[in-house]
Structure 1
Amino acid sequence: MRAVPPLDLLLALLKTYSNFVGAMMARGLEVVGKLGLYMLGARALGVHESGNFFLCLTWVGLIATVSRAGFEKAVIRHLAAELAVGRGRDARKAFFMSAGFVTLGGTLATLATILLAYPLAKHAFGDAALAAPLTISAFAILPQALCIYMGHALVGFDRGATGQLVQNGLWPALTLAALLAGVHSLEGLLYALAGANLTAALLGLVLLLRERHRFQAEPAPGSTVEAMPALWRTAIPLSVVEVVQITLASLPVLLLAAFGLPAAVGAFSVANRISMLIWVVSTSIGVVAAPSFAASHRREEWDELRRLNRRVRLAVAVFGAPIVAAMLLAPEMLLHLIGPGFEIAAPALMVMGIGQLINCMLPCQDIVLSMTGYGSMLRWLNTAQFVVCCTICVLLIPPLGMMGAAIATAVFAAQGAIGTTLAVRHYLPKAF
């Protein structure tokens, strides 16, 4: 057998991972934007006000996720699977139906937050002054819901890097730009957040209009491919998954805000977001691969599905391992880069780093399940995560504070990675 020249092998490897690299570049913009926003925002606002800022960010992310009801994940599967067999009209129907549900949900969530801002601030978080920031943050909910939906729809069209830019990379960079331009108040940053998400959503809409010709695709003559399930049947289990995931990510912060001081909330929020860089890596790579997972499963190309899954796991391990090492070996240094006073969260960051290490080694199997029709199984796995995480939060956060929140976050990350991996090996052994 003729040996492959090293240069040709390198070029082939780069071609194989080009989509992953493009997605990582888009998420790199997100990392730079978010780290810059967290670092400079924390210094401009101080530990107390930055805690309120992170609390509002957490609330917007949680409620925007609830408002999307899983339709953003469902549209990836339906667009990719229908276009893979030439059913452009069915893809168009799925796109417009899911867009309508997301818009309606985001509008209702915005109104509910405005109406409930004062009761939440006074009774849930024990600070009536938080009502005004919560009210302002409500204006970011619908734009963020649409921004993330547009990004997922682009992914369904196999535009993974562009989709990542729209849903994740652009709004942090624009909010950071507002901060650098002189917006240094909590209220101003929240308005900038809403404007940045709206800009990203509009850009996503423009880019999607360029793909509308693909809705004209027709199936091959004599095609007898089985019809996809109704869109809502895909969305409902995934909506439970998405809500549970964002709730579990938000619950430690929210309970810490209820039982701890704003300074502890600010420090833990920064450490938590540093640990979430592993989610950034795994999600960016997994989302790029999601339409290929759906298309390969739709065409029953098991060898290709298994090869893609292995490449995804390897890519996450390569990109994520250095980040985990930094969290475990130099947590104080990382937190000191954010600003003075945040080093108190170093032990918590190390604990969360252990959970993210497991997540880094067993990544993206939740995406495999959601793209191959096993959303119901994923829902049960997430329900188990929810029960375990809530139990740990209730038992550990009141007495241990920040460390209790860190333990809950680490267990949540590890349990999700292990559970989804075991499920894929059992239900889709050909895909692992």
Structure 2
Amino acid sequence: MSLDRIATLRRLYGGSLVTTATRLIDVPCRYGMHLLIALRLSLEEVGAFYIVFGALMVASGLGRLGIDRAVTREMARLLAAHDTAGARQVLRRAAAQVALLSLLLTAGAMAAAWPLAAWVMHKPAMAPLFMIGALAIVPQNLANLVAGALAGLHRVTQSQIVYTWLWPGLFCVIAVVLPLTDAVALFAVVVAMTIATIVGAVMLLRDLPPAGTPATPATSLLGTGLSLFSLELVQLLISAAPPFILGALAPTDEVGLYAIAWRVVLVIYMFVSGVASMMSPRFARLYVLDDRIGLKREAGRALGFALALALGPILVVTLWPERILQLFGPHFAPAAPALRILLIGQLAAALTTTTPELLGMTGYARSLLHINTLAALILIGGLTVLCPWFGAQGAAIATTATMLINAAGTSFMAQRKLGFVPLTALFAEGRRARLA
């Protein structure tokens, strides 16, 4: 390979490779966390933990309403225009809004803990678990806001540290030294998220540029965030709604089976979401600069990079699902059919990597809202109908159907609004590289 070719690859993918290498730390951290939970808790306790953990993820999303994503877009846009004062102003307003929303939601979650456990889940003993989980809402949301701001500063590696693996890694350290129960595990999540928030805030304050030019007129973070939040809400629902609805409509053991199957396929989602997070600020910058050619090239390259990372894990999990599940314990082997079903949805997500972010960062967030509303309705309806009859496999069918609808809808809208989808952009980039 020529030196010129090596230099070109380094220029195109060098930064992404560094960020991805950092993101790979997520594997031992996040899967160490799930492995500790699976090995040290009973199947019923595993189910109880993931019911509360899933509810926490949805609740924390409602406490920030996409403001962290809006901060990424607005800070990237303002810094591209060299408006550092405006970027600082956006961050201050976002911090105040997220803190207020999160505190209100924490109080509401505390008050709803017993009715939720007794009347919805029909498991009154879970009320203390819901209360412990509510304590994580504030640090979780502030950590995500910090990560979103770091992404807007193009500090993508630091952003991924805070978004993905720092708090699971801290959880593993805490969980190793404590006798683990479902309640202790949830408390460890709270402590780990709090420490991650502090570390992320230090990194953000260190890298935040000094105020320079006067601030431009402020845009509505909440309005922008709500449109972008529709994408995050579907992602949160895909992760959190199946264990919650399974817990209400099926035995807790089924929740444990589904939860571990979902955690296995998240290895693939880790690569997809990591590449998408890297590209969001780049898309926003190129859109502001009206560089449509560059936008298409970046989308194609990002998809190619994501597929290169994700197809290997997809193949491995497809060939040996039972063996992989048994790493978490022999009692998780019955989750293999659910795992196979979930892989179909993850393949669709991999093939449409960055498509939702492409729409959100180029001013078509409202189109995302329509697609994601439909996807959310399909998910909730499918879970309600299928879970009582098919348990974990029913949850997997509903989740995969939702992911397929989301992939098809975002692809159709990207083609219609932008004139391309990342997959066709990847083919075009390949042809251009061969001709060069």
TM-score, length-normalised on structure 1?
Answer: 0.93
Change (3 A) 1:430 1:406: closer
Residue of structure 1 in register with 2:430 after alignment: none
List 4+ stretches of structure 1 deviating above 4 A: 226-229
After TM superposition, the structure 1 = structure 2 runs for residues 376-395 of structure 1, keeping only pairs within 5 Å, are 376-395=366-385
Residue of structure 2 in register with 1:61 after alignment: 57
Mean CA deviation greater in 340-349 or 21-30: 21-30
* CA-to-aligned-CA distance 1:280-338 (integer Å, 9 cap, x gap): 11111111111110000001011111111011110111101111112221110110111
CA contact (8 A) 2:338 2:392 kept: yes
Change (3 A) 1:266 1:430: closer
SS in 2 for 1:17: helix
Unmatched segments (≥5 aa) in structure 1: 220-225
Change (3 A) 1:22 1:111: farther
Are 2:299 and 1:318 aligned?
no
What do you get for the CA RMSD once the two structures are aligned? 1.8
State percent identity of aligned pairs: 28
Aligned length: 422
Structure 1 distance, partners of 2:18, 2:405, is 29
Residue of structure 1 in register with 2:434 after alignment: none
CA contact (8 A) 1:67 1:105 kept: yes
CA contact (8 A) 1:167 1:200 kept: no
Structure 2 distance, partners of 1:214, 1:302, is 31
After TM superposition, the structure 1 = structure 2 runs for residues 281-360 of structure 1, keeping only pairs within 5 Å, are 281-360=271-350
Residue of structure 2 in register with 1:363 after alignment: 353
Residue of structure 2 in register with 1:222 after alignment: none
CA contact (8 A) 1:95 1:153 kept: yes
Change (3 A) 1:217 1:328: farther
CA contact (8 A) 1:396 1:405 kept: yes
Cα distance, 1:183 vs. partner?
Answer: 3.7
Which of 255, 260, 268 aligns to 1:265? It is 255
Residue of structure 2 in register with 1:127 after alignment: 123
Structure 2 distance, partners of 1:110, 1:192, is 17
Residue of structure 1 in register with 2:242 after alignment: 252
Structure 2 distance, partners of 1:320, 1:210, is 33
SS in 2 for 1:213: coil
SS in 1 for 2:330: coil
Residue of structure 2 in register with 1:49 after alignment: 45
Residue of structure 1 in register with 2:135 after alignment: 139
Cα distance, 1:233 vs. partner?
Answer: 2.7
Structure 1 distance, partners of 2:66, 2:141, is 11
Are 2:182 and 1:186 aligned?
yes
Cα distance, 1:217 vs. partner?
Answer: 5.0
* Letter matched to residue 312 of structure 2: P
Structure 2 distance, partners of 1:65, 1:205, is 19
Residue of structure 1 in register with 2:400 after alignment: 410
Are 2:173 and 1:177 aligned?
yes
After TM superposition, the structure 1 = structure 2 runs for residues 190-201 of structure 1, keeping only pairs within 5 Å, are 190-201=186-197
TM-score, length-normalised on structure 2?
Answer: 0.93
* CA-to-aligned-CA distance 1:220-240 (integer Å, 9 cap, x gap): xxxxxx978432331121233
Which of 98, 115, 122 aligns to 1:102? It is 98
Structure 2 distance, partners of 1:110, 1:333, is 40
* Letter matched to residue 91 of structure 1: A
Cα distance, 1:11 vs. partner?
Answer: 4.0
Which of 37, 40, 48 aligns to 2:36? It is 40
Are 2:65 and 1:75 aligned?
no
Are 2:226 and 1:230 aligned?
no
Which of 6, 20, 31 aligns to 1:10? It is 6
